[in-house]
Amino acid sequence: MPFHPNRIAVILLALGLLCACGHPPADDASNSADSQKLPFDRQPQSTGISPSQSLIPSSTKLPEGTPIPVRLQSALSSASSHAGDTFSAIIDEPVVIDGQTLVPRDTSANGRVLEAKASAGSRGSSSGSSTGNSLGSSLEPGYLRIVLVSLEIGGRTVMIETSSIFAKGGPREERSPATGMVAGGSQKDIVLGKDRRLNFRLAQTVDLQ
């Protein structure tokens, strides 16, 4: 039986509609493809904080309480030092944090005298003093209080705050030439000699950057 022209037109129209429905829009196809990508294949977001960065420990900070071992480069004495005087030292052992050396051995360090007092004897007790005065003077030994104030790292001066070290003189034993007996003498000054090892501790966290 011959087809009617109108019937042929209807069939072609139906086929055209079927073809159009079988191909999704280009935008939908790209969105579908992107949804199949793994998270690390997608483009990074312009905002937000990387969680991995917040978990990486800082390698430039010395925490509060970190020991700072030093060796004096010049002698200190309560007989000659005054509050405000400075002194030099070097790091005696590397300062290591989380397996990383942040302050190498022999790094230069600087300190300050906070308090200094000479012993009564070095202040010049006269030989004509009364017995009472001499007895009172023997109760006044010399003392020093010192701290570290900076480190020289990478050509820069890094300011630090540390615990203080207090050193005090003690009684000097004197042997009588006539009897050979040992008796307590006058109090003496405290002397911290060159190359004396001292151990300070940081009073506050320090960023070395």
pLDDT tens digits, residue range 46-100? Answer: 555 554 444 445 578 999 999 999 999 999 999 999 999 999 999 999 999 999 9
Q: Is the dihedral of CA 57, 58, 62, 63 positive or negative?
A: negative
% residues pLDDT > 90 (the chain):
50
pTM: 0.61
Q: Which amino acid is at 196?
A: R
Q: pLDDT-based confidence at 118, cuts 50/70/90?
A: very high
Max CA distance (Å), the chain: 155
Run of H or E including 78:
none
pLDDT at residue 207 in the model: 93
CA 6 to the chain's CA centroid: 91
| Alpha-carbon distance values, 127 to 121, 130, 133, 195 (Å) | 11, 9, 11, 36
Q: pLDDT-based confidence at 134, cuts 50/70/90?
A: very low
Residue positions counted in the chain: 209
Contacts 24+ apart (CB under 8 A), 180-185: 184/138
26: tokens are: 């280009």
% residues pLDDT > 70 (the chain):
55
